Amino acid sequence: MVRRMTLLIGLSVFLALGIGQVHGQALRGSEASVNRAYVRAEDYGFTFLQTSVQIQRFVEAGYLVRVRSGRDFVLHDVSFPYGRPEVKLFIERLGAQYHQACGEELVVTSLTRPLSEQPRNASTLSVHPTGMAVDFRTSLNSVCRHWLESTLLYLETAGVLEATRERQPSHFHVAVFPEPYARYVSSVLASARSGNGVSAASRYMVREGDSLWTIARRHGTTVPKLRAANEIRGSRIYAGQLLTVQ
């Protein structure tokens, strides 16, 4: 019988990556979290852009880059589809992992916003005007929501971003720290090339109707390898389970 394992979803992300202790229980956000992102932006010397004209100038200078919808993610009603280069990289990597894990596209709802067009309820310390923030729509699929929340929690623990699940309107707000995130990606890619460690791209979240055989065939591996990588003795798996695919 297929069951939803909400708690295990979150824990599996950390255990699969060798994380022994979970930092924080949910992406509830806090004044301290907002302050950390703001201080990072100031440390980097980022400009808090005032107008759409300033955004265009930063695009022309190469400080901001265009983000376009792709195979794994789509932009929805994004007025200014630009962000720091590391933010674009973050969206592309997260989108690919999200799409593979839960079978739907990641939806981006906001990127760079000038101060002149910030919503009324936005924090005065918001880093959207710097180009280092991105918002994602909250999925109606609970499995996808839990996967995204668990992954963002892991990356927050790694010190490469601050993430909050907002309620009004419902979305995930993420402030990406460009330099730490770029170093993190370089480390992940180096580990993948050397055959050490487990990258996020090698994890798959089981969907309803999946079996070890169908997953193995889809990823070009074998059932014995899946069993060995995930310490599975029989054939039983459940929706929401995170599997290491090798």
182 in any annotated domain: yes
Query: CA 14 from chain center: how many Å?
Result: 14
For residue range 6-38, list pLDDT tens digits in order. 333 333 443 334 333 334 446 776 788 889 999
54 in any annotated domain: yes
214 in any annotated domain: no
Contacts of 168 (CB under 8 A, 6+ apart): 121
pTM score of the predicted model: 0.73
How many structural domains are present in the chain?
A: 1
Task: Report the range of poorest mean pLDDT among 163-167, 186-190, 201-205.
Answer: 201-205
At 91 the pLDDT is 96
5 in any annotated domain: no
230 in any annotated domain: no
Q: What is the domain range of residue 182?
A: 24-186
By the 8 A CB rule, do 235 and 211 touch? yes
Pick the closest to residue 126 from 85, 117, 169, 181 (CA basis): 117
Q: pLDDT tier at 55 (50, 70, 90 boundaries)?
A: very high
165 in any annotated domain: yes
CATH of the domain at 181: 3.30.1380
What mean pLDDT comes out for the span 72-82? Answer: 96
Pairing of strands 106-110, 73-75: parallel
242 in any annotated domain: no
Q: Which residue has the higher pLDDT, 219 or 117?
A: 117
Token pair of 126 as six digits: 């918001």
82 in any annotated domain: yes
At 209 the pLDDT is 82
Give, to the nearest 10 degrees, the angle between helix 212-219 and helix 223-230.
Answer: 100
Q: Which long-range contacts (CB under 8 A, 24 or more apart) does 65-70 make?
A: 67/91, 67/108, 67/111, 70/95
Q: pLDDT tier at 107 (50, 70, 90 boundaries)?
A: very high
